[in-house]
Amino acid sequence: FGTRQTVAKNVFWLSFGQIGTRLLRASVIIYAARALGAAEYGVFSYVLGLAAFFTIFSDIGINTILTKEAAMNPEKSRQIFATSFRIKIILLVFTALLIIFVAPYFSKIEAAKPLLYFAAMLTIFDGIREFAIAFFRAKEKMELEALVTTVTNVAITLFGFAILYFAPTARSLAITYGLSAGTGTILGIFILRKEFGSMNSAFRRELLAPILRLAWPIAITSLVGIFMLNMDVIMLGALRTAEDVGFYSAGQKIIQLLYTLSSVLAVSLYPVLAKFVGQKNNGKTKELMEKGITASLLLAIPIVIGGVILSGEIIKFLYGESYLAAIPALRVLFFTVLLIFPGYHLTNYIMAHDKQKKAVPIILIGSLGNVIFNVLLIPLYGTVGAAIATLGALLLINGLSWRLAKKTNNFFILPHLKKIVSASALMGLFSLTLHWLGVHVLLNVALSATLYFVTLHFLKENSISEIKAVFKI
């Protein structure tokens, strides 16, 4: 495969596994929010958020190192796999114990505490499955990742709908969520049965120190994802009510699903980016970075404009009238898309150049800022305050990361955005007009998106030409 075809293949399989089946999984979450009500759904979301916060101890960058090192050293991939998994399983057991015995002290929502046992089980299943997926990526077997992800999300969806029909409680949903997640994990273990079967013989003690040395900067860097996605929910649970958590989580789920769009592109580009960096080809590295961020902003800018305009209609369509209080926070959260979409590429760019250590202070500043902003804003503004806190922290992190990335190997984005901004502005006016005319939100989105991409086509936007070249449209 050439570079374009390799990226296209990766995007196809990752899109199928990450976006397609997550939309399916999102359907059960939306149904759960309706069936459980804001307070009970808030308990479920709080449990997942609290458990996810403790997962900072479950990986410490091991998955990323497995992908990178196994790809670079295919002849040693089985030894790297076995040694990395030895570290991984110790971390997972330690994290599960933290969730069971320490997490209850962080919660003032009593109904959440009994569910933490099932959250610990979910953490172990997810950790092993993600480890298997990291190895698939090293071997460029994105189709296997898509298969495992699809089976997991289909199981959660089917069993989730069934259990909610017969027993619509946060407890029953948490149990089902944990057990269903195990289906994908079992499949991943079965596919890699030779690697798992040779765990003892392939283990190499001398690889432990190098793996840990490479992993720790990534471990600290990954804190940003944990803090951005879960700190707001945890602090809302501590400073407000379960109902507030439910309203905030309803909007957050929508935004997190959108984040997947850029994540897929960034993951697909990373192997090629790392190859160019390894070849010391600064020209191609710069060009790929500019194309990646431009493509992400091509999606992000119209999503933010349309999302802010249609937030109310989106909430009413997905969750119903009882979730109208979620609208103000969702409007603020839509602006995070402008930061998260290019942020994935900035992180990969820094890692590809082995600048992880320089990113550590940036992550610490952003994480501390997020906590401070939440403490100041949640008591005053509730869910909107939590959303503003996330936005503020992301501005800190992205601004500093952008500066570091440009100092590493300079690139330019603004010259590539003129046509995208013009098309987005036209789309926004069109979407606002349809909204005023009372057009249904789904039809509005479809018509507005069509107008946007048709406009880009007539403006001869380079990113559209790139897509056509890849798929020979």
pLDDT at 442: 93
pLDDT at 473: 38
Burial 390-422 (b: 16+ CB within 10 A, else e): bbbbbbbbbebbbebbeebbebeeeebbebbee
pLDDT at 169: 84
pLDDT at 216: 64
pLDDT at 470: 45
Tell me the CA distances in angstroms from 56 to 47, 276, 401, one per residue in order: 16, 30, 21
423-437 per-position pLDDT tens digit: 999 999 999 999 999
Please give the Cα distance from 8 to 472 (Å, whole number): 11
**Phi then psi for 167, rounded to 5 degrees?**
-145, 80
Helices H, strands E: what count in the chain? 20, 0
Token pair in block for residue 343: 């942020």
pLDDT at 77: 85
352-403 per-position pLDDT tens digit: 787 877 877 887 888 888 889 999 999 999 999 999 999 999 999 899 999 9
pLDDT at 309: 96
Residues of the chain with pLDDT under 50: 1, 470-473
pLDDT at 1: 46
pLDDT at 121: 87
